[in-house]
């Protein structure tokens, strides 16, 4: 134990963190814990530990946060026990983990970098000092990029510029040991616009110093209010804006922006600036809002309703569902890529996104329920679905992964029913992007009667026209479906949502692989210029907004990374990443190992049976081997990776084992030594919402399901035959009143089959349809349902499509 703490040091002089960690180890050990240690110490007459002392220690379990081990260690220290004595006792005890607590770490941080706010043009200095057994080397990073010429403990940027703001971290190396410091945020203030001659903006000893004061403003209704306040100091100050003496909800940044101000935004504003030890206030300024303004100083006045209206959302929420691993129907590929790409794009537009893969019927209904909980007045709600689906009588149905073959409306979710529930929330915009087939389901003769309110805020973007298929392109790699291939290029455009979809439709119309096969259809009752890029302005009910934000955050809480110390002297880092809201990535990395350990590897195992994890796809050396294709570039290297999907099925906390296998050089002919540690990370991500539960009463179930009588739900096992049916005149479209029908120019005869047979381009069912005060009705010329498979895949001129698609890859590279 040459690398242990000084043997002559009294145990009551050890650092509190060391003693606390040692106490935790001894408290949790059953056969090598504090009781056994007490017996060993009692046998040494130098330190008298009596049975009364042991009883006093045991009573500590009755105290809040009491520890028998800490009590015993304190008694030993008071009676002259040194670190050397304690090491000898622990060696006799055989508790290697406890001995590890007394071992001097190869790297110790003496000074950690601290977050700081500085003035543009001044000097920025960040410090990081560490102690190691050999020469210590430093390297600073700004996020993932190395800072040039920054290999010293002090990072100095002089003069600091606005572009230097961001997050910094320092990597420290000493021999084989490598550690990262804590993150430090740098905020750079530009005070040129409010500079006061002779005023010093330098912070003394890191204390707060006000540098930017807000300015009084006079605005017209409909304009944007912008107030700015700034202080320098270490650490970065916290901000809270107040109006008329009351805190403004969610106004916790240096800059306060309120678009489209109204008369009730008028008042006295000031900002509270605080740190852990200080608090100060900015000047109080007046904001005056005029409801009219004069033109050219004359007597003519224009009221504000003549101004161009800036529309806003009180929040933005999106539910994205991609079903691909069907139990009784053909498997799909594109939904995973489509959901992933749309998730990243919508987050750039400040949407709160819940992205889910492979949901059963009950899980889909519960997911919709949770989605509805995030909606309230003025919220922009967006639902994207990719998977199998169908459309009957103007109503669209999403097919869960556990749907039987054949399926009926009782097994699926009706989109119009979800719209009805969204309307009850008084949302500001309802967008449905339905990436599925819209073929008729002849096994479902139900005629749902869903009465929707007349609202001018509904947009449906269907990946294909009525009674047609939506295609995914066959490829050995990951590739988008046709709809998202073009949608993702336009989604960030600052245009009315229907204009965006119009342009997507035009782009799709030029795609040779599906020309004449698939065309985007748009149905809209939108009367205002609402765009997905509209700013967010929280409404008056701040408590409701906060509650909804907490609800969303529950489904996106990742476990914290952790370092695990094993008895053999190895340290393992356990890290986590989210690929989707219900897909967790776990990776293990060897942080350090003893010099005489020739082989060391850490596996994760013993997962809950709820997750149905394939052991062959766990603990792989590359992310791709375990199915992690979309996140692979952002994960750390030189790890073992495991992908856990279907977190929504998790009923209890996620508990698993980290198994370390090690071989020492002197024992290479012997089997590896195995150490196990049990880890409990609670319920990560979407598992917190318990989507596996039985569907609640008065939930989406009550409005989505349309029960069948036995005569309406014929049980049929589809045969392998293909059935050719024509669509000319097969459906009549009734007047949809306020919904405009655009870009539906396909009228195809297609072959429907129940499975994919090596198709170069295959179709996957996608949701689409808006039944506002209207339905499609059959004219009686439909084929007999007894001869049809469920319309989920199409094969029409497959060889020709394959050739066209291959050629298109050269013409339109992605």
- Residue 7: the pLDDT is 74
Q: Which residue has the higher pLDDT, 630 or 720?
A: 630
Q: How far apart are CA 657 and CA 660, in angstroms?
A: 10
Q: Determine whether 437 is an active site residue.
A: yes
- Residue 569: the pLDDT is 84
Closest by CA to 537, choosing from 289, 309, 260, is 260
Token digits for 652?
A: 């209890």
CA angle at residue 662 from 659 to 668, to 5 degrees?
A: 150
Q: How far apart are CA 206 and CA 202, in angstroms?
A: 9
CATH superfamily to which 1-102 belongs? Death Domain, Fas (1.10.533.10)
Span 252-259, average pLDDT: 91
- Residue 548: the pLDDT is 67
Are 108-189 and 209-290 the same fold in CATH?
yes
Q: How far apart are CA 295 and CA 726, in angstroms?
A: 64
Give the pLDDT band (50/70/90) at residue 338: very high
- Does the model's pTM come out above 0.85? no
Query: Hey, how many other C-beta atoms are within 10 angstroms of the C-beta on 760?
Result: 19
For 746-762, how does the pLDDT look when each residue is reduced to its tens digit (9 = 90+)? 332 232 223 322 233 33
Q: Quick one: CA dihedral 524, 741, 735, 732, positive or negative?
A: negative
Q: Determine whether 57 is an active site residue.
A: no
Span 206-235, average pLDDT: 86
Q: Compute, in degrees rounded to 10, the torsion defined by CA atoms 645, 646, 647, 650.
A: -130
**Is the pLDDT confidence value at 771 over 80?**
no
CATH architecture of 108-189: Sandwich (2.60)
Closest by CA to 754, choosing from 441, 513, 466, is 441
Write down how long the chain is: 814
b/e sequence 681-691, b meaning 16+ C-beta within 10 Å: bebbbbbbbeb
Distances (CA, A) of 42 to 11, 33, 34, 227, 784: 17, 14, 12, 69, 90
Q: By the 8 A CB rule, do 415 and 769 touch? A: yes
- Residue 617: the pLDDT is 82
Specify the CATH number of the domain 315-553: 3.40.50.1460
- Residue 702: the pLDDT is 44
Place of tokens 């024509």: 726
User: What is the residue-wise DSSP string for 164-223?
Assistant: G-EEEEEEEEETTEEEE---EEEEEE--GGG--TT---PPSTT--EEEE----EEEETTS
Of 267-271, 684-688, 806-810, which range is least confident? 806-810
Closest by CA to 437, choosing from 462, 461, 419, is 462
**Is the pLDDT confidence value at 302 over 90?**
no
Q: Compute, in degrees rounded to 10, the torsion defined by CA atoms 606, 610, 612, 613.
A: -40
For 46-64, how does the pLDDT look when each residue is reduced to its tens digit (9 = 90+)? 777 888 888 888 888 777 6
Which distant-in-sequence residues (6+ apart) come within 8 Å of 16 by Cβ?
none
Q: By the 8 A CB rule, do 496 and 529 touch? A: yes
**Percent of the chain's residues with pLDDT above 70:** 78
For 472-488, how does the pLDDT look when each residue is reduced to its tens digit (9 = 90+)? 776 666 788 899 999 99
Exposure on the CB side of residue 692, measured as CA atoms within 13 A: 14
Closest by CA to 656, choosing from 588, 707, 596, 600, is 588
- Residue 596: the pLDDT is 83
Q: How far apart are CA 239 and CA 233, in angstroms?
A: 13
Q: 177: which strand partners?
A: 174
Closest by CA to 143, choosing from 168, 113, 124, 177, is 168
**Is the pLDDT confidence value at 603 over 60?**
yes
Give the pLDDT band (50/70/90) at residue 365: very high
Say what angle helices 34-42 and 83-93 make with each other, to 10 degrees: 110
Q: Which residue has the higher pLDDT, 295 or 778?
A: 295
Q: How far apart are CA 215 and CA 187, in angstroms?
A: 21
**Is the pLDDT confidence value at 695 over 60?**
yes
- Residue 156: the pLDDT is 92
**Is the pLDDT confidence value at 215 over 60?**
yes
3-state helix, strand, coil in the chain (%, to 5): 25, 30, 45
Token digits for 397?
A: 């149905």
Residue 501: enclosing H or E segment and its boundaries? Answer: helix 497-509
- Residue 748: the pLDDT is 28
Q: By the 8 A CB rule, do 776 and 394 touch? A: yes
Span 559-571, average pLDDT: 87
Q: How far apart are CA 268 and CA 369, in angstroms?
A: 41
Strands (E), 626-775: 640-644, 655-664, 673-680, 723-725, 731-733, 740-742, 750-753, 761-763
Task: Specify the 3-state DSSP secondary structure of 79.
Answer: coil
**Is the pLDDT confidence value at 790 over 60?**
no
Give the pLDDT band (50/70/90) at residue 514: confident
Q: How far apart are CA 527 and CA 455, in angstroms?
A: 9
Span 394-418, average pLDDT: 91
Closest by CA to 459, choosing from 501, 494, 425, 493, is 501
Task: List the domain boundaries for the chain.
Answer: 1-102, 108-189, 209-290, 315-553, 556-689
Q: How far apart are CA 805 and CA 798, in angstroms?
A: 10
Question: Whole-number mean pLDDT of the chain?
Answer: 77
Query: 101, 271, 437, 704: which is the annotated catalytic residue?
Result: 437
Q: Which residue has the higher pLDDT, 795 or 173?
A: 173
User: What is the residue-wise DSSP string for 29-63?
Assistant: -SSSSHHHHHHHHHTSTTS---HHHHHHHHGGGGS
Closest by CA to 116, choosing from 237, 230, 282, 281, is 237
Which distant-in-sequence residues (6+ apart) come within 8 Å of 107 by Cβ?
130, 131, 132, 136, 172, 174, 177, 178, 179
Query: 329, 376, 388, 443: which is the annotated catalytic residue?
Result: 388
Residue 347: enclosing H or E segment and its boundaries? Answer: helix 334-348
User: What is the residue-wise DSSP string for 364-407?
Assistant: HHHHHHHHHHT--TT-EEEEEEES-EEEETTEEEEPPTT--SS-
- Residue 546: the pLDDT is 67
Phi, psi of 28 (to 5 degrees): -85, -15
b/e sequence 217-246, b meaning 16+ C-beta within 10 Å: bebebbbebebbbbbbbbebbebebbbeee
Q: By the 8 A CB rule, do 462 and 389 touch? A: no
CA angle at residue 215 from 210 to 218, to 5 degrees?
A: 165
For 102-156, how does the pLDDT look when each residue is reduced to its tens digit (9 = 90+)? 877 778 888 889 889 988 888 888 999 988 878 899 999 998 889 998 999 999 9
Phi, psi of 636 (to 5 degrees): -65, 155
Q: How far apart are CA 186 and CA 207, in angstroms?
A: 15
- Residue 615: the pLDDT is 78
What top-level class would CATH report for the domain 209-290? mainly beta
**Is the pLDDT confidence value at 813 over 70?**
no
- Residue 753: the pLDDT is 28
Distances (CA, A) of 523 to 158, 185, 436, 713: 57, 47, 16, 30
Span 663-682, average pLDDT: 85
Query: Hey, how many other C-beta atoms are within 10 angstroms of the C-beta on 287?
Result: 20
Q: By the 8 A CB rule, do 209 and 201 touch? A: yes
Of 533-547, 559-573, 798-812, which range is least confident? 798-812
Give the pLDDT band (50/70/90) at residue 240: very high
556-689: CATH topology is Immunoglobulin-like (2.60.40)
Span 257-272, average pLDDT: 90
């Amino acid at each position: 134990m040459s690398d242990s703490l000084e043997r002559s040091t009294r145990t009551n002089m050890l650092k509190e963190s060391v003693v606390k960690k040692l106490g935790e180890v001894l408290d949790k050990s059953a056969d090598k814990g504090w009781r056994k240690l007490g017996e060993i110490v009692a046998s040494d007459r130098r330190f008298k530990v009596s049975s009364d002392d042991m009883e006093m220690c045991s009573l500590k379990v009755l105290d809040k946060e009491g520890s028998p081990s800490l009590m015993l260690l304190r008694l030993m220290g008071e009676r002259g026990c040194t670190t050397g004595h304690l090491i000898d006792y622990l060696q006799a005890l055989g508790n290697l983990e406890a001995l590890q607590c007394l071992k001097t770490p190869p790297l110790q941080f003496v000074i950690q970098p601290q977050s700081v706010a500085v003035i543009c043009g001044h000097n920025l200095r960040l410090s990081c000092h560490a102690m190691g057994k050999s020469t210590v080397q430093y390297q600073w990073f700004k996020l993932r990029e190395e800072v040039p010429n920054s290999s010293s403990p002090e990072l100095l940027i002089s003069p600091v510029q606005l572009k230097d703001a961001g997050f910094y971290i320092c990597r420290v190396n000493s021999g084989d040991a490598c550690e990262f410091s804590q993150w430090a945020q740098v905020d750079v203030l530009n005070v040129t616009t409010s500079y006061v001659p002779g005023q010093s903006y330098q912070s003394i000893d890191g204390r707060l110093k006000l540098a930017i004061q807000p300015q009084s403003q006079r605005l017209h209704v409909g304009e944007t209010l912008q107030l700015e306040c700034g202080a320098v100091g270490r650490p970065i100050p916290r901000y809270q804006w107040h109006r008329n003496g009351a805190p403004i909800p969610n106004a916790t940044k240096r800059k306060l922006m309120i678009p489209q101000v109204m008369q009730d935004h008028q008042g006295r504003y000031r900002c509270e600036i605080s740190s852990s030890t200080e608090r100060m206030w900015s000047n109080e300024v007046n904001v005056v809002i005029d409801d009219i303004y004069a033109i050219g100083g004359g007597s003519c006045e224009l009221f504000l309703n003549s101004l161009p209206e800036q529309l806003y959302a009180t929040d933005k929420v999106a539910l994205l569902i991609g079903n691909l691993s069907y139990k009784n129907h053909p498997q799909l590929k594109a939904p995973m890529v489509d959901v992933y790409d749309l998730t990243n794009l919508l987050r750039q537009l400040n949407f709160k996104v819940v992205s889910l893969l492979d949901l059963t019927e009950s899980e889909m209904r519960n997911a919709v329920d949770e989605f509805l909980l995030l909606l309230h007045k003025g919220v922009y709600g967006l639902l994207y679905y990719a998977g199998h689906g169908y459309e009957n009588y103007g109503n669209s149905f999403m097919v869960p992964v556990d749907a039987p073959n054949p399926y009926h409306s009782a097994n699926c979710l009706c989109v119009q029913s979800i719209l009805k529930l969204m309307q009850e929330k008084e949302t500001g915009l309802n967008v449905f992007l339905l990436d599925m087939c819209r073929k008729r389901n002849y096994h479902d003769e139900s005629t749902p009667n869903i009465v929707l309110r007349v609202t001018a805020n509904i947009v449906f973007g269907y990946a294909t026209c009525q009674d047609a298929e939506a295609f995914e392109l066959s490829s050995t790699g990951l590739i988008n479906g046709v709809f998202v291939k073009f949608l993702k290029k336009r989604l960030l455009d600052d245009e009315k949502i229907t204009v965006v979809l119009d342009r997507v439709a035009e782009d799709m119309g030029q795609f040779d692989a599906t020309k004449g096969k698939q065309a985007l259809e748009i149905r809209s009752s939108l009367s205002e210029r609402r765009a997905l890029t509209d700013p967010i302005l929280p409404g008056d009910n701040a408590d409701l907004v906060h509650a909804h934000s907490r609800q969303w955050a529950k489904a996106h809480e990742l476990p914290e990374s952790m370092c695990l110390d094993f008895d053999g002297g190895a340290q393992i880092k356990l890290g986590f990443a989210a690929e989707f809201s219900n897909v967790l990535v776990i990776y293990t990395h060897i942080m350090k190992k003893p010099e005489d350990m020739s082989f060391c590897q850490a596996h994760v195992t013993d997962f809950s049976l709820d997750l149905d994890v394939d052991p062959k796809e766990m603990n792989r050396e590359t992310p791709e081997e375990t199915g992690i294709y979309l996140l692979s570039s952002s994960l750390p290297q030189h790890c073992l990776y495991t992908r856990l999907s279907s977190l929504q099925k998790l009923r209890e906390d996620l508990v698993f084992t980290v198994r370390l296998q090690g071989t020492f050089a002197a024992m290479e002919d012997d089997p590896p030594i195995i150490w196990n540690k049990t880890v409990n990370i609670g319920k990560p991500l979407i598992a917190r919402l318990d989507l596996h539960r039985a569907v609640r009463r008065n939930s989406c179930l009550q409005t989505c399901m349309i029960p069948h009588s036995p005569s309406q739900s014929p049980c049929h096992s589809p045969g392998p035959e293909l059935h050719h049916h024509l669509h000319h005149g097969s459906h009549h479209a009734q007047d949809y009143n306020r919904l405009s029908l655009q870009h539906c120019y396909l009228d195809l005869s297609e072959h429907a089959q129940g499975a994919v047979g090596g198709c170069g381009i295959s179709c996957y069912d996608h949701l689409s349809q808006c039944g506002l005060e209207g339905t499609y009705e059959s004219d009686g010329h439909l084929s007999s349902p007894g001869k049809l498979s469920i319309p989920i895949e199409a094969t029409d001129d497959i060889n020709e499509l394959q050739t066209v698609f291959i050629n298109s890859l050269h013409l339109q590279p992605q």
